[in-house]
Amino acid sequence: MTNKIIMGAVAYDPKVVTIWDGFKAWFKERGLDFDYILYENYEHQVESHFKGHYDVAWNSPLAWLQVKAIASKLGRTAEAIAMRDTDCDLTSVIVVKAESPIRSIEDLRGKSIGVGAGDSPQATLIPLVHLAEAGLDPDTDLRVRRFDVLVGKHGDHIGGERDAALALMHGEVDACSMIDGNHLLFGRENTLPTGATRILTQTAEYDHCNFTVLDGAPVKALAQFRELLLSMSYEDAAVRPLLDLEGLKVWKPGRTDHYGLLERAVARFGTIDAFVEGVAARCG
């Protein structure tokens, strides 16, 4: 076995050990020496990538923008090589109670909205820029209540979204935001009982996580890693449970043209500026 790849990933849930241990064994059977390093938060993971601690990152959409911005400052290049089918064409929603008098975005003016963690693309940054671009300044026209659960994990842990949904049901906020898939999940688990809420507005589509590499990574080993990823079949009984845990049915080639909404959010709110400047200074 000559090709070796080390991946960096964030430990947002205990299941990630099961997932990557399973992938490690699957890759090994096919001639790829694969290992991984788990990080407590994406900021540590991103900086470690630029320090050369691993070869490929499993990045949140916000971490992807961090990497891209730092790479640009350092004269380097970053590439998204693969993503899940379920990372593509997602939306976030802003929800109100079914009986709420709020019927339009303008009706939210002066009202309160519950959002996820401050670094959550899906439950905070994208919904708030959606409202901003519709004419409501989150700093002056709304009362934004953040539910900062596990900051540093970029909303991968959905506790903040769930807490915001519960706050809506308890009458503590007038609206709340979440990714569309969690709106369905919260209905199934009765956090948002059937018929108790309605969607006020929905964002444009965006993409979520991707595998990110920097220039200088081992070309041959990465090519094998990507080829094996894209070859995984949901019909393979050995790999299906791992794909289920990771929330996909098929790996797809990476694309980067669906991060524009999040890019506008971080530009408007200055979300990653200080971090990008700091890492670029330390790793330059």
Domain edges within the chain: 3-87+208-283, 92-202
Q: Is the pLDDT of residue 1 over 60?
A: no
What is this structure's pTM?
0.95
Reported as a pLDDT band with limits 50, 70 and 90, residue 98 is: very high
Q: Is-same-fold flag (3-87+208-283; 92-202)? A: yes
Q: Is the pLDDT of residue 2 over 90?
A: no
Q: What percent of the chain has pLDDT over 70?
A: 99
Amino acid 143: pLDDT? 98
Strand partners, 176: 95, 114
Reported as a pLDDT band with limits 50, 70 and 90, residue 5 is: very high
Q: Is the pLDDT of residue 40 over 90?
A: yes
Amino acid 177: pLDDT? 98
Rounded mean pLDDT of the chain?
Answer: 96
79 within 8 A of 219, measured Cβ to Cβ: no
Task: Sheet with 175-179: list strands edge to edge.
Answer: 143-146, 112-115, 175-179, 92-97, 197-202
pLDDT, tens digit, 9 for 90 and up, residues 194-228: 999 999 999 999 999 999 999 999 999 999 999 99
Amino acid 244: pLDDT? 96
Spell out the CATH class of 3-87+208-283.
Answer: alpha beta
Which residue type does 163 have? D
Lowest mean pLDDT among 147-151, 169-173, 268-272: 147-151
Domain at 92-202: CATH architecture: 3-Layer(aba) Sandwich (3.40)
